[in-house]
Amino acid sequence: MSTLAQADPGSLPGLRAGRGAAPEVVFYQLNAKVLERKEDIPEDAKQVVYYSLAIGHHIGVFDCFKPAFRCTTAVFDRVLETLKDNEEAHRKLSGLLRFGEITVDSTHTRPLMAAIEAVLPTAPPDVAAWLDRLRTALDAIRREPAIYLMGRRLS
């Protein structure tokens, strides 16, 4: 049986087997919400907007993302290795390898920030740089809970 057939498609060897380009991991940050309506929403109606965002496409809301940070899967492997002692953070981020995509929202900021703060002082430079970018994005989510990240595995 070939390596491709034996490799778990959710594992990094499975991701890399038989592909031309090495996959990378990209995290996008929500940078706009587009509503299909003519009138602007007043500031005092913000809770209505948040409710609308929660039910999304059913009322014509579209999320617009911009790439926030990216890395090779080799760097992402090292990020996961660095976070291995923090089960919650490791599980959340490794979901990207299992499912190909994850979202990081306000419910994830506290555990991920705690994990980052614990490992950042001793992390290798490439991992520390990536974790610092994640920390900056998490801080933006903490300040504005409607923001979230979408992490995707690209090949």
Q: Please give the Cα distance from 130 to 148 (Å, whole number).
A: 17
Question: What pLDDT score was predicted for residue 1?
Answer: 36
Is 70 exceeded by the pLDDT of residue 34? no
pLDDT band at 7 (very low <50, low <70, confident <90, very high): very low
What are the boundaries of each domain within the chain? Answer: 12-30+64-154
Closest by CA position to 102, among listed 13, 10, 6: 10
pTM here is 0.70
Q: What is the pLDDT of residue 30?
A: 79
Q: In whole numbers, what is the pLDDT of the chain averaged over residues? A: 79
* 69-100 confidence digits (pLDDT tens): 999 999 999 999 999 999 999 999 999 999 99
Distance between CA 54 and CA 59 in Å, rounded?
10
Mean pLDDT (whole number) for 2-14: 39
CA proximity to 112, closest of 133, 126, 98: 133
Asked whether residue 111 carries a pLDDT value surpassing 80, the answer given is: yes
For residue 146, what pLDDT band results from cuts at 50, 70 and 90? confident
Structure tokens at 17: 């087997």
Q: Within the chain, where are the H helices? A: 3-6, 12-16, 46-55, 73-82, 87-99, 109-119, 125-143
Tokens of 62: 């579209």
- 36: burial class by Cβ within 10 Å (0-12, 13-18, 19+)? exposed
